[in-house]
Structure 1
């Protein structure tokens, strides 16, 4: 009884301090709002030019939010559709990727989506966008063109394009539709009765898509599963919980949110009967696996339900909630940290402290999976099996993106290839012939393509440092000799890296015929991380060993 009385007295004594802190906080808020209001009033009255209230206030709001974290965002009225697209994966448009072609000074069609208006009316990769209705698109950037292609579902417009293969200008009347970005672009069977599912975002309804795909794979005879979350930036927390639920029993805690206010606190548990709780699984992750993807992979790791393979994930342990503001504006606010079943939060950056540096591994805390394996908080999800992704040589990157002087030679080659080949072999079987490769190789050389190797940049920095420190003149002959060795020869580099360059080229061609689904299917043939996942799933003893805690030496 005495202990209870003492506790009550202490709480009563602390109450004035708590109220005082709250009053001081509210006083500071009110004071600074008054300052801001007074400042804007004076600017509006005395500034030499007339202020644009919307533009000025939006800049002020964005400046305030930049001091918090990159995930708390303001959406003015004209950008609320972007928020809805982010949450649902849907937008109204034609369903195509576009890119800017520097040499042509126009945006061009890069990849129509399967079954969408762009593909249905017959738009092809490489079609040059000349105008949308009566608005010319000459020298307009991708953002400008994209904003004109999008609109309300059911509205129509006339798209004028030029087809490079014929040089003819063509007009298409297109009716915009609600476009659902493909959340599950490919799933299928791999050798050894291993199913494979690729999920690229956590938007509304994606758990049902994964469930359907998984059941289909089981019906096809899948005895193990590879779930690919590489480069999946996340999305809906609830969808992540429902996906984990496919392989975990009911009433299991998947994630818990903890925020400053009680409304932000929430525990998410599995609520349905699972589909399969014993099938061996490997989840593929990388540095762009984030948010809901980390909830999924982290929960499956903490519950010892799957082997996580790849590289360390992004490390986003924060939860955002969209909120309505006056005049049809919105804000997405970070309201909580999330904690996965072991109790850890995998947030990599402490925005409150510095907002830039990742939390050092030495400052992280050890937690344990259900079976007793050690895992750590901070810095994302460390995979159980670390396998680095295949690297792309510089020349392949510049060829597939755009080279110096914007030759965009690979893109142009693919467009011409499509014109001369109405059909190609199935995606998983397609390969360029020797004659095709030689034609591409010669085209690159004749185009004058050049690229900027990393070694040359580092050499230039070394020369700059040597001159600054005063020893360049004495070592000039050595520097000149080294520079000659670093000069790249495009022809020899094409031969040296032919395997990788040809793979990139083939996948780009396949996407034009079989869309993203075909490109992903074919790309698995070159995937080193996937091969390692298959090896582990084909070795039950190895799979079980990975999921066992490391025995401590006595």
Structure 2
């Protein structure tokens, strides 16, 4: 990054909104501080470049400074340089030119491998499979490349040709695949269909600029061709995305002209009110929205606004609590600043932002707004709802927490590697609804993990180690320490014990990983819906029309 570009970038950052007259006096008072600090920063970079004992990578050094500066604001305000704009646009559009597969580096120094090809995309159509290790892209050997570098080489102009050299587990000789890149569009509606007694189900995994049309097409098909009588919209683990798409989805189920949300920023000229602008598809069909702690941003706009308008019942767990709106501003040298410009408020008037980034603790950490300090707002029919802590469902269903061991089994690719070998021995499997692994498969997985020397470091073990050091320092272990040894024995990882203890969780994860190899993302989702307590509760509520209507009715005394 040249000095001219650096100064221009900082000026653009500090002068955002400088044309608003209401802030003129404040900016006049700050003018000297802005000029002084820009001059200091510019001189500092120049002096370090000239006199520091070692050669300085100016671009990386300044980038660290930028990231540190923005990191003190909130996690969503970030600098996006030109070389990262492609990935950013992919998040917004859900499209890119490439082979259509997720890749992953086995570890910091390990090879990059295919972990999930997309159905109907070039990687899958060419015959690439999960577990294939990428050795070369065209004539470039990539065995020592990072995940990001390999991803960059795999992407390219649609219809361009590439040759991929891979090493398939269990085979001695590498394989070569000629692949033609295409415009990869990731469908955000992973699967939709009928569940229970005439209940439509749609799973939306993210909000891109085209996802509303996917939801609309799925709903019309379910209503007109499958004659569903109620609908479940699953937004669990949906981290959000394009705000306008959330408004479009809400507009399908509420009257035209309804206020979905309003945004409030530092400058009144930037405040906006979003209303539904199209005629709805259906305003009477019973609707349930599934959410959890990973449902955020646009997912909370949809679920929260439908709740505030008494249009849907919410089922699951409290949502993440992201009530901040970002916008992008162009920067020099084709970069962008994604900056938080406002907070959003859903129809009841509440903001669901949970973490207060404007009042940090002395150590720099951010605290959540305690429930005792949240305020009560009211839905259209007078039902009480609260702000400051995400969206709370009418029917809360707790999800089982995954043990730490599961995390390490996934991160260390034990699941992936075992399933890669398992799939080679099983050309086909039954449909997802009928498939399950046997006890023999489970025992084989245990043996495989042991053979690979799998270990895991649980948080309880770390805390125990720290406790022991403190206890020794303060003299608590000089006498009878049998109690500590007993505790240490209970908290020491034991593979046989913990595999049997968490057999249900391990089995479900194995089944999910296996069906994904045969039925792609749809199969993985369908496998996850087996024994789904939240889905079962939604089916129960929608089947009981009296309960559904009572839940959304005006409270007595209102």
Please indicate, yes or no, whether the TM-score normalized by the shorter chain is above 0.5. yes
CA displacement at 1:20 relative to structure 2:
4.2
Partner of 1:386: 396
CA displacement at 1:335 relative to structure 2:
1.4
Structure 2 counterparts to residues 253-272 of structure 1, below 5 A: 253-272=259-278
User: How far apart, CA to CA, are the structure 1 residues paired with 2:285 and 2:256?
Assistant: 17
Partner of 1:168: 173
Partner of 2:67: 62
Against the structure 1 CA distance between its residues 43 and 237, is the aligned structure 2 distance closer, same or farther, given a 3 Å change threshold? same
CA displacement at 1:18 relative to structure 2:
7.4
Against the structure 1 CA distance between its residues 31 and 110, is the aligned structure 2 distance closer, same or farther, given a 3 Å change threshold? same
Structure 2 counterparts to residues 153-552 of structure 1, below 5 A: 153-219=158-224, 220-354=226-360, 356-402=366-412, 408-551=413-556
User: How far apart, CA to CA, are the structure 2 residues paired with 1:434 and 1:264?
Assistant: 60
User: How far apart, CA to CA, are the structure 2 residues paired with 1:396 and 1:71?
Assistant: 29
CA displacement at 1:236 relative to structure 2:
0.9
CA displacement at 1:472 relative to structure 2:
1.5
Against the structure 1 CA distance between its residues 41 and 393, is the aligned structure 2 distance closer, same or farther, given a 3 Å change threshold? closer
Per the alignment, in what secondary structure is the counterpart of residue 526 of structure 1?
coil
Against the structure 1 CA distance between its residues 363 and 124, is the aligned structure 2 distance closer, same or farther, given a 3 Å change threshold? same
Of 332-341 and 450-459, more deviation after overlay is shown by 450-459
Deviations 1:266-296 (A, max 9, x none): 1110111111111111111111111111111
Q: Does structure 2 retain, via aligned residues, the 8 Å contact 1:297–1:308?
A: yes
CA displacement at 1:127 relative to structure 2:
0.8
Of 281-290 and 58-67, more deviation after overlay is shown by 58-67
Deviations 1:365-410 (A, max 9, x none): 21111111111111211222221212223333333332xxxxx432
Against the structure 1 CA distance between its residues 263 and 175, is the aligned structure 2 distance closer, same or farther, given a 3 Å change threshold? farther
User: How far apart, CA to CA, are the structure 2 residues paired with 1:50 and 1:152?
Assistant: 37
Q: Does structure 2 retain, via aligned residues, the 8 Å contact 1:71–1:333?
A: yes
User: How far apart, CA to CA, are the structure 2 residues paired with 1:517 and 1:523?
Assistant: 10
Gaps of 5+ in 2: 1-20
Larger radius of gyration: 1
Against the structure 1 CA distance between its residues 525 and 335, is the aligned structure 2 distance closer, same or farther, given a 3 Å change threshold? same
TM-score (norm 1): 0.90
CA displacement at 1:48 relative to structure 2:
4.3
Of 141-150 and 486-495, more deviation after overlay is shown by 486-495
Deviations 1:290-348 (A, max 9, x none): 11111111101110111111112111111111122222121112111111101111111
Q: Does structure 2 retain, via aligned residues, the 8 Å contact 1:257–1:266?
A: yes
Of 183-192 and 458-467, more deviation after overlay is shown by 458-467
Per the alignment, in what secondary structure is the counterpart of residue 408 of structure 2?
helix
User: How far apart, CA to CA, are the structure 2 residues paired with 1:342 and 1:123?
Assistant: 50
TM-score (norm 2): 0.90
Deviations 1:172-207 (A, max 9, x none): 122222222231111111011111111011101110
Q: Does structure 2 retain, via aligned residues, the 8 Å contact 1:87–1:235?
A: yes
